[in-house]
Structure formats: structure tokens, C-alpha cells
Chain A
Amino acid sequence: MNNAVQQPQTILVLGGSSDIGRAIVEALASPALRHVVLAGRSSDPERPDVPAGVGITTLDFDAADPTTHRDVVAAAVEAAGDLDVVIQAFGQLGPDAADDPEAAAELVAVNTAGAVSSGLAVAEQLRRQGHGVLVVLSSVAGVRTRASNFVYGATKAGQDAFATGLHHALHGTGARVLTVRPGFVRSAMTDGLDEVPFTVDPGDVADAVVAGLRRGKSVVWAPGVLRGVFGVLRYAPDAVWRRLDR
């Protein structure tokens, strides 16, 4: 159960080695926190820095294998009890996907199909327990897709549409979804890429998530200014958009 200041007792991270996922866990850590479950491909992910006494469980999780997603959620509940906050933090960037149909399909399988199937498995559990928040790490890349990474953008657009729709579908069940739209984040996933304006660190995304949870938001942007920026850019003429994307 989240307490009155929206501090969770249990957190499940899908994509257990994600830098942003770990930063969010650390930002949500408080004396209320009892258990963290890291579900990912790595059996030994970097541990979040949480107070002594907080239980940490690692689980195998493959976003691209939807047949296992219910079982992963069930195993997390077995380890931690009710899931107060679930962070959907996995994702791939796939820089070559535009030239490689198979790599593109793989990206869709992880970023979109995996988000949908694991999101539904989580929603089923949150509905059953009558409370809990699914935090979905979407991206501004999906708000308006760019020539330089439009396959990735398309996968995130699908995930984002799913997440915001799921939020509405869960209305009245006690469960909810917080969709997070970061700009460029310095992390393992983006290592070596050129930075763009409004670049943030995982900790900035985590702060936005914590604030969004406390205020009961359904969508947060990181940094917050991107909400206004994309409010305009989304409708910019194609020629303008292409020029910005160089």
C-alpha cells in the first residue's frame, strides 16, 4: 500500500538493469519501502541504493516473450506481496532498425508488444488488489517521430498510446497508470549518442516520477518544459520539423 505521501512499500521493476528504473527506485526509497523486485535479462543487475533491510529479489524477465509475463508478475507478488509501484523500464534503442526489417520487428516485439503484454499482466494484478500504479517509461520520441529514429519512435508511440489508454481503462479500479515522457536521457542505452537540447539524467526523470505520483498525475514530462515544447512541435509544419531534426 502506498502511504499518504505516496511512498510505496513494494516496487517491481520490469527491465531490472535499467538506469532510469534504478534511479526511480532510489528516489522512491523511504522507511516505508520493504521490498524491491528487479525483473530483467541480467541475473545480477546493479542493485539500487536502498536502505538496509529492504528485501531485493531478482527475476528472469524477457519482454519479448509474452507467454511468461503473467508468471513473472505472479512471482513478484509471491516475493513482495501487493505491488504498489510497477515500473516498466525496459526498452531498446535499435539504431540500425531503419535499415533492418528484422531488427525493427525485434524492437517492436520488445518496446511495444512487450509493453502491452507485460502491462496487461500487471494491470490484472493491480485490479485484483484494488490499488497500485504502473509507471510506464515512454519517450518524447513517440510524440512526434523523427527521421533519425522513427522506428524507435513508432514503438514508443505504440507503448504510449497503450499506457494512456490503460489508464482510462483502469479508472474506478483503484489502479492507475503514470506515463512518463522523458526527452534525451543520459544512460547506458544512449551512451555514445549526441546529446540534444533538454537532455536530462536518470535522476531528473526519477524526480519527475516521484512528483507525478505524489500529485496523482497521469502523464509527466522530463524535463517538464517538454510538455510545452512538444505542444507546439507536434503541430509544426513538416518542413520545420525536418529542419529541427538535423
Chain B
Amino acid sequence: MPTTASSAGDVTVLTGWGRTAPSAGRVIELDGDVVRKAPHRALPIDEGRGAIPRGLGRSYGDPAQNGGGSVLRVRPGRAPISLDCDGATVTADAGVSFDDLLRVLVPAGFFVPVTPGTRFITVGGAIASDIHGKNHHVDGTFGAHCSRISLLTADGALRSLTSADGDLWWATIGGMGLTGLIVDATFDLIPIETSQCLVRTQRIANFDALVDTMAADDQRYSVAWVDLLASGAALGRSVLTRGDHARLDDVSDRQRRDPLAFDPPSLIDAPGGGPNVLSRTAVRAFNEVWYRKARRDHTAAESITGFFHPLDMVGAWNRLYGGAGFLQYQFVVPDAAIDTMRVAIERVVASGLASFLAVLKRFGPANAAMLSFPTSGWTLTLDVPAGADNLATLLLQLDDLVLEAGGRHYLAKDAHITPTIVRAGYPRLAEWQAIRRSVDPEGYWISDQARRLGLLEEEVA
């Protein structure tokens, strides 16, 4: 019986994690092993609207959907995770989630080089979005830790890329899946002695104090939660958490008996179908409790889930924003533009749009990937309900501030920017387009986001 790499594909309405701009595409499942065996016939024929890979759909906007076209998911093969303990590297299929990965890695004494705020992302998505974590100022992005990527390009060739491949390597990292389908990848790991993190938690009274503390930071992991409802003298009041993987000496005797235990609790889904329950009042109450709960300055061991992935304890928390969904706004501005960050926070506070999560983090230097988001400076991330009345006005103000300061928006979070804004924020877009075109002249790879931002178009009217 002939092996087929793909299922026929059902037309399915998809959105990103923010649930804002649905479109329907043919979702086609590919098997990682079959793709490797017969790459030249793995890709579905272009029926005019192209194809885009999709992992677990955790990007917030529309980069992993393709209205009217194909949406490809790569099922992990039979041996999806191959750990090299001596070399401290792992090779994993693109469709492997960080959840699966950590359940193998942590008990073996390793951690992923970079993790975002959730385990429910895939290796392929981590590369395509060139994700960052709390350790960016020390360790850089996920792409910086990859040593090999197999990429199935539009011509049906399965290419084994390394950084020696130069342009295509750096166009694929952060390339939003638009250079080809990532099939598997090899990347470096962080050796750990325990599955705990030693975390220092501090309450910081205001923005100035926060910036001073974070600028002098030498901890591996560092991030501040900012109360965007506090104004006046308390503007920017925050809870700053900093830490590193705990060593054996750091943990309790009880934990030392099984130092690498890792069994994150399974998810309880948040209820769906209701209205936006994250009202201003609810968020204000939560923020107050969260701020007061934190001790003034306290160091303790925390679990990986508690420190890195707290929201994973509530499945489908995105439904809490109600039917209109929500938007996660993340931008970076250069170090020198710290005043812009203050103005941006003031604008959000003044708009009165509740933000459940507002996270401030300092980035280290950018890497060589043309569309990689992080660049030396400060990044702020906030959630806002998409149905809010004055949201469009706030976004306009923020976009202007970000661009004037020489900053940019994170494409994995973007759900609203324009072709003009992406071109201002990513001056190397044209360079990326030329490389992309060299491996996909017909524009086989395309997403709703690519159409919205004209990512494949040289000039946008």
C-alpha cells in the first residue's frame, strides 16, 4: 500500500490564541516520518491560496492560519525526541510540544535553552517565531541555541540547515513559517541539578525603581509583572522575579530525594461561552492581591511550572476574555527610549483598559535573524480585550510611540499592525524577502498575517 504523507484535510475555522480574526482553511496532518522518507511528495498541491504550518496555535493573531488555503500540522514521528546527554543537545520533531519535551528532559537533568510563558508550544513554532524567555538578556532567543534545522522547502527538497547556510538559516529563524516547513531540529540544552528554581521576588514601588533594579540585573531569569492600573506616584509598581535553576544545595531534603521530579498538574479548562469576566474591577482586585501577596523581598524555591508557566495551570484561559477575544500587545524599544516605555505605560493606565497581564523585561542584543523580534532594550507585553470601545485609539497611540522610538512589534503576538508599521519596525524585511523568494518564488508559503502585512509583497500601496 502506498504511503501518503497527508490526510485529505477538513475545512476548519481557525484563530490564534487571542481568538480574534477567524478564517477557514484545509487542515492537513502530515506524519514526520513520512515527510522525511518522501519529502518531494509530502506537500499538498497549491490550489491557489498556498499553505502555512501550524503547531499548537499559541501565537495570538493570524500567523498560523491561511484563509482558503492549506494549514499543515506535522504529527511527531515514532521517535520524536532523541536526547544526547553527553553533548547536552536534543533532536526533536517540529510538532513536539515543550510539554512533551520537558517531561523527557527534566528528569534527565536538562532544561530547554529558552521557554516562553507556556509549555504548549511546539519546537517548530519556537523556531519560526524565534521565541524568547525570561533569560533573553543572558541567553538570547531560542534560534540562537539551534545547531541544525531540517526544512522542507516549497520545491519539495528537505534541506538540513546549519548556521553555515547563512541566509536561509537566518531567514528561517523568526521567519514565521514562510520559508518552509520545519520538520525537526537539534538544539542545545541547559543542564540542571533540580527541577526547582531559586527565585527572588521583590515588590518594587514604582517605574523608576524598577528600571534601576532591572538595568543592573545579572540573574539568568528576570521579569517584572507591572500593575497597569496603578497611577500617579505608584505608576509602574511591580513584582520583580529573578532567579536561576536551583542547585542541589538550594533545595530541601525532601526535594533532594527526587530532585528532578517533574509532573506538572493536568489542566482544568476555563469555562467558555461566557462574557468577558476579566472586567476592570476583577483585574484591579487581582492586581492588588498579587502585589500584596508578594513579600517585599523574599527568596524561595519554585517549581518550573510555577516560575515559567503559571498560566498553564488554567487550560484555555484565553476564553476568559469573552466572545470578542483579546489582543496581546508586545513591543520593544531601545535602551535609550526608556522614557517612551514610561509614556506607553501612562497611556495604557489613562485608557482604563484593564490588563490582566503586563510584563516588562529587558532584552539583550539582537541576533542575525532578519525578522527576529528581540533587540537590545525594553519589552512590554499587555493583554487587552479586543471588544473594548477605545482600544483602536489606544493602539494607534502606542504604535506611534513604538515607531518613533525606533522600536517594533512581535510578529507572534501581532494581530493588528499594518504593512507600513512592519516595514518601519523591521528594516531588514526586504533582505528577508529576497532570500525567501529564492526558495519559494511562487509564494507557496503564505498565512493570513503575511497577507495582512504584505510580507511577500515588495511594495505595499
Using CB atoms and an 8 Å cutoff, list the residues of chain A in contact with chain B.
1-7, 9, 30-32, 34-35, 53, 55, 81-82, 127-131, 172-175, 214-216
Contacts and interface: CB of A to CB of B under 8 A. Distances in A.
B344 to A, nearest CB: 18
Contact of B323 (A7, A173, A215): A215
Contact of B62 (A1, A31, A173): A1
B461 interface: yes
Q: Do most interface residues of chain A lie in helix, strand or loop, or is the interface mixed? A: loop
Interface in B405-456: 415-421, 448-449, 451-452
Contacts of A4: 18, 20-21, 61, 325, 327, 386, 415-416
Contacts, number: 98
21 contacts: A1-B67, A1-B448, A3-B20, A3-B415, A4-B61, A4-B327, A5-B20, A7-B392, A7-B416, A34-B419, A34-B461, A55-B461, A127-B68, A129-B23, A129-B67, A130-B11, A130-B68, A131-B22, A174-B68, A215-B324, A215-B387
B420 A31 contact: yes
Contact of A3 (B13, B25, B416): B416
Contacts of B214: none
Contact of A1 (B49, B386, B452, B460): B452
Contacts of A7: 392, 416
A40 B68 CA distance: 28
Interface residues of B, number: 40
Contacts of A131: 21-24, 67-68, 448
Contacts of B449: 1
B395 interface: yes
Contacts of B323: 215-216
B23 A1 contact: yes
Interface in B319-337: 323-325, 327
A6 B25 CA distance: 19
Interface in B34-89: 49, 61-62, 66-69
B159 to A, nearest CB: 30
Contact of A173 (B11, B66, B418): B11
B24 A130 contact: yes
B24 A173 contact: yes
